[in-house]
Amino acid sequence: MATITFYEKPGCKGNARQRAILEASGHKVEARDLLAQSWSAEKLRPFFEGLPVAAWFNASAPKVAKGEIRPEALSAEAALALLTAEPLLIRRPLMESGGRRMAGWEPERVDGWLGLAPGLEPAVCCGRHNHDDGHVEGSCHPE
């Protein structure tokens, strides 16, 4: 399986669930703090290959959610300037493996690229058990 550099926001439950799915699928995940990285436009841009500028942004970031930043109105250059200045705006996770990069968690794209174990996405955990026995949180009951 693949070794994946996984840039996440520490404490983000969604990123924790995504990392757990990758690990349950047999991948080695090297988690990194997305907010602590020193991002440049040159380093960040390849993660967004093939995506429209608006999809580069975390729609839940406060400045985006409040409408202070309108990603759909930005050029690529202006977007990269904002994203490198304020990493909280970056769509998560950022993943890198085998020379390829990806932004965001789209299970079909991740599966096509890295391979995911069947039945792990989407789901809701019943909360009636612990998750240190190999059971991935979020994988016990399909929505």
Q: How do residues 4-55 score in pLDDT, each as one tens digit?
A: 999 999 999 999 999 999 999 999 999 999 999 999 999 999 999 999 999 9
Whether 126 sits among the annotated catalytic residues: the reply is no
Are residues 83 and 44 in contact, defined by beta-carbon separation less than 8 angstroms?
Answer: yes
Q: Which of 12, 125, 126, 140 is catalytic?
A: 12
74-115 per-position pLDDT tens digit: 999 999 999 999 999 999 999 999 999 999 999 999 999 999
Q: Per the structure, how many domains does the chain have? A: 1
If one counts every other C-beta atom within 10 angstroms of the C-beta of residue 98, the result is: 10
If one counts every other C-beta atom within 10 angstroms of the C-beta of residue 24, the result is: 18
- Using the predicted structure, report yes or no on whether residue 68 has a pLDDT greater than 70: yes
Grouping H, G, I as helix, E, B as strand and the rest as coil, residue 9 is coil
pTM of the model: 0.82
- As given in the structure block, the two tokens for residue 104 are 């965001």
- At 113, which CATH number? 3.40.30.10
Predicted local distance difference test score (pLDDT) of residue 143 = 37
Alpha carbons 32 and 6: distance in angstroms, whole number: 6
Domain span at residue 32?
3-142
